[in-house]
Structure 1
């Protein structure tokens, strides 16, 4: 018999699933080109779900449901709340773009985005290998369909095919790795896996073999080298609205399953997986920053930027356990720094792609760097928002990206390990190289002559949300303490259970 706690643990997911089905039916009666009824209903639903998640997270309670298969804790609930808000912002930015490109003939964009969000929720809440995998598949299958939403666009169809083939391969890696861990430990429950591994009675070689495949699968979802091949092609080929949907909220879910699997389940093997993450982080910082310099397409440049940014997240994740010793302070600093980094990265990405979507108009994709020439003369506000985002990604103070990078570097240096300190120095050097391609776009916006005299116009909701989004990137940089404390508290509560 399923108890009340189980239903309570997944109550927001039930609301989201029910409303996604209701909205799919309601949309059949909506005939406006911009699907106004569907859009309003979707936004109201997401607002209610976000409020529920924030309420759950604020309570600080942790409870397990469905025989420990699902966990509701502070970290998971805050990540789900942020993912929901990110999806709301994405839909606000995307609607005018999608309407101009005939991507809203039906309400698929709204229903698929809600199912993708549900997949993220299940991934974040999963305390069982099967639940995590089911959530992952729901997210990726919805994402494949979203990328291919422009049925008559060859580039988008090609991007969807690449994403599908490489995504299926990565899911196979992860599933094979999880099956190896299950075979060694005899359990799919993450808590039981931790106890079995910690007992030291299982063959280390079998566990490490499974661990290699698990890390490979996670690396694909985070988009780090050498599992990054899909990111530039899919970011460039997908409609910009869908690029934002893939590059935003799902990063929060990928971070969550990395914590669930590697920290909650396989922490006794930290010495092994930290070495793997170190290699992935170095490769991502190197390839991401160097390849981005050569790009003329802004979406492709931001794709390589994403790869290097995820390298920083891995640096945080690999610095929690020092020489096999679990120190509470080091764990809190490292994993909360990574969570803070992911959350602020998603916030910055939303605003950057929001400006790209804003400049795009019917029959014209504003995705080349040259398309931003003289933007400051056409619209100082949007040029300012974009500049704030680029400064933040480059790690220039007082933007929030500076504090995100600083918190990760502090976690590395605090370990006192020569290798970790060397990696922190390497990361700083790579950030300096990365600053070049971010500042190049700022130079184009402020110092080049505009190619067109067209005024930049946008619906009121887009203007308001984009302004708030840009202000948050700057505001959280000036006052980062609140969000940092929230991340630290959420991580401590999650790991305490």
Structure 2
């Protein structure tokens, strides 16, 4: 065969070193865990943390260079936005593993011949998120999405003898499969209209007018529906409360933390980068999703007594703010607000993840074998039992409520500023009103901790690494609220450089 007739294949593997390392590490950990029994399973935990740290080292080098590099014939991209999101994904997964160690041990989730499933599946879910974040083709984005989703389905069902977890897994799997089908159908329609799956080619075809606009808009509707499910935005939120409540708390954190960063990334890739010429259409869709999420999330959370369920509705409301930032980028033909709006949405996503990590970390700290600290009433008297961690939880609730000077206030302020710059002051007022309503259920948790008499007065026994991580988590939420410039600046710079590339 004449090799000169074959197309050149881009084999630059430098941008995917972190993904290759994680794939090898996760596979090796799975094999090593086969030979570990009982207490020796701590080895699996430490190896998993080392794998995450190794990915962080490799990605930090790319982030530091600030370069945008494509590989696999343009299907994969390493750019400032992807590298920054990956770094926070590593932080989220590492903290989840630290917070979960005692919890999964107490519940026998590390027993049996394959007890390290929790850690290995968490790593494979992270690999899927990394592929989603760096996908520059609708095909690679979808493959990353399915790798993450399949790992999370298995994690939710990990406690096979637990009826509530099994029910949650069934709901998540069926609704998740439906959402994946929506997204795949939307992708197929866009492929049919443009003749390409690569994001730059789709953008060029849509902008030139060569693609049928009707087919593009139909494909867009299905694609936005699938993305809304992954974000947990209303009205595609119906899975979140049941799955958050029914899953083991460690798995709930894996669901509610890092995947939101990957979901933000695919919104950027599939809407902002692939279909900027249809910005008017998809911004109207995001506007409806944002307002519904703010309304349903905040109003329904008031009626909840289960803290995990309340935090699920809180997630829906927080995603409403992220979507507000995403729909404020383009005003008519004016694109000058894009960097500010999209960086505010990115900062809001990171803020949500850091705050949620700490909130579920406190829940797992109070839980013990045979007892799940899921009810708000379980936090009664925490201010007397453990003043420091009650203070940490107070900081986290204030941040979610948007109380200054916490990080959550700066996230909401940045989004509202971006929305106001579009002239939609009414929308900013609506968002503020729903945030004020939402403050009630966050402050109810604070009141329960500090002013209600303790029902359980037993001492709180917590591993040292968990105590240190929770403390640093709480301090970070305050410090990044008092000094937001560095992270906000990094988000703005990452978005600007990504939009230029």
TM class by shorter chain equals over 0.9
Q: State the match for 1:492 in structure 2.
A: 496
Q: State the match for 2:4 in structure 1.
A: none
How many correspondences in the alignment?
A: 491
Q: 1:444 aligns with which of 426, 448, 462?
A: 448
Q: State the match for 1:407 in structure 2.
A: 414
CA-CA distance at 1:238 after TM superposition: 0.2
Q: State the match for 1:14 in structure 2.
A: 20
Instruction: Kindly provide the CA deviation profile for residues 40-76 of structure 1, in whole angstroms up to 9, marking residues without a partner as x.
Output: 1111111111121122112100010010000000100
Q: State the match for 2:294 in structure 1.
A: 285
Q: State the match for 2:100 in structure 1.
A: 94
**Matched-pair contact (CA < 8 Å) for 2:300–2:313:** yes
- Bigger shift: 224-233 or 34-43? 34-43
Q: State the match for 1:470 in structure 2.
A: 474
How far apart in 1 are the matches of 2:360 and 2:468? Answer: 15
Q: State the match for 1:371 in structure 2.
A: 378
CA-CA distance at 1:371 after TM superposition: 0.2
Show structure 2 runs of 5+ residues with no match: 1-7
CA-CA distance at 1:203 after TM superposition: 2.1
Query: Compared with structure 1, are the counterparts of its residues 478 and 34 closer, same or farther at alpha carbon in structure 2 (3 Å cutoff)?
Result: farther
How far apart in 2 are the matches of 1:311 and 1:166? Answer: 20
How far apart in 2 are the matches of 1:455 and 1:75? Answer: 44
**Matched-pair contact (CA < 8 Å) for 2:100–2:250:** yes
Query: Compared with structure 1, are the counterparts of its residues 326 and 244 closer, same or farther at alpha carbon in structure 2 (3 Å cutoff)?
Result: same
How far apart in 1 are the matches of 2:38 and 2:86? Answer: 31
Ranges of 4+ aligned residues in structure 1 off by more than 3 Å: 1-4
Q: State the match for 1:150 in structure 2.
A: 159
How far apart in 2 are the matches of 1:65 and 1:254? Answer: 22
How far apart in 2 are the matches of 1:469 and 1:336? Answer: 22
Instruction: Kindly provide the CA deviation profile for residues 297-348 of structure 1, in whole angstroms up to 9, marking residues without a partner as x.
Output: 0000000000000000000000000013322xx1110000000000011000
Q: State the match for 1:210 in structure 2.
A: 219
Indicate whether 1:225 and 2:234 are aligned.
yes
Q: State the match for 1:481 in structure 2.
A: 485
How far apart in 2 are the matches of 1:217 and 1:468? Answer: 35
Q: State the match for 1:186 in structure 2.
A: 195
Show structure 1 runs of 5+ residues with no match: none
Indicate whether 1:388 and 2:384 are aligned.
no
Q: State the match for 2:145 in structure 1.
A: 136
Q: State the match for 1:57 in structure 2.
A: 63
SS in 2 for 1:326: coil
**Matched-pair contact (CA < 8 Å) for 2:298–2:314:** yes
**Matched-pair contact (CA < 8 Å) for 2:80–2:498:** yes
CA-CA distance at 1:3 after TM superposition: 4.4
How far apart in 2 are the matches of 1:326 and 1:269? Answer: 13
Q: State the match for 1:352 in structure 2.
A: 359
How far apart in 1 are the matches of 2:214 and 2:9? Answer: 38
**Matched-pair contact (CA < 8 Å) for 2:10–2:73:** no
How far apart in 1 are the matches of 2:203 and 2:9? Answer: 25
Q: State the match for 1:342 in structure 2.
A: 349
**Matched-pair contact (CA < 8 Å) for 2:401–2:408:** yes
Indicate whether 1:314 and 2:303 are aligned.
no
> What is the TM-score with the length of structure 2 in the denominator?
0.97
- Bigger shift: 11-20 or 197-206? 197-206
Indicate whether 1:272 and 2:281 are aligned.
yes
**Matched-pair contact (CA < 8 Å) for 1:33–1:99:** no
Q: State the match for 1:333 in structure 2.
A: 340
Indicate whether 1:107 and 2:116 are aligned.
yes
Indicate whether 1:423 and 2:427 are aligned.
yes
How far apart in 2 are the matches of 1:262 and 1:324? Answer: 16
CA-CA distance at 1:33 after TM superposition: 3.5
How far apart in 1 are the matches of 2:206 and 2:333? Answer: 14
How far apart in 1 are the matches of 2:49 and 2:288? Answer: 41
Query: Compared with structure 1, are the counterparts of its residues 466 and 165 closer, same or farther at alpha carbon in structure 2 (3 Å cutoff)?
Result: same
Indicate whether 1:36 and 2:45 are aligned.
no
How far apart in 1 are the matches of 2:273 and 2:294? Answer: 26
How far apart in 2 are the matches of 1:476 and 1:81? Answer: 16
How far apart in 2 are the matches of 1:51 and 1:465? Answer: 20
Q: State the match for 2:5 in structure 1.
A: none
**Matched-pair contact (CA < 8 Å) for 2:15–2:77:** yes
**Matched-pair contact (CA < 8 Å) for 2:306–2:376:** yes
**Matched-pair contact (CA < 8 Å) for 1:34–1:104:** no
How far apart in 2 are the matches of 1:51 and 1:424? Answer: 39
How far apart in 2 are the matches of 1:461 and 1:393? Answer: 25
Q: State the match for 1:305 in structure 2.
A: 314
CA-CA distance at 1:223 after TM superposition: 0.5
How far apart in 2 are the matches of 1:452 and 1:240? Answer: 20
CA-CA distance at 1:205 after TM superposition: 1.2
How far apart in 2 are the matches of 1:45 and 1:356? Answer: 26
Q: State the match for 1:241 in structure 2.
A: 250
How far apart in 2 are the matches of 1:43 and 1:107? Answer: 13
Q: State the match for 2:463 in structure 1.
A: 459
**Matched-pair contact (CA < 8 Å) for 1:271–1:324:** no
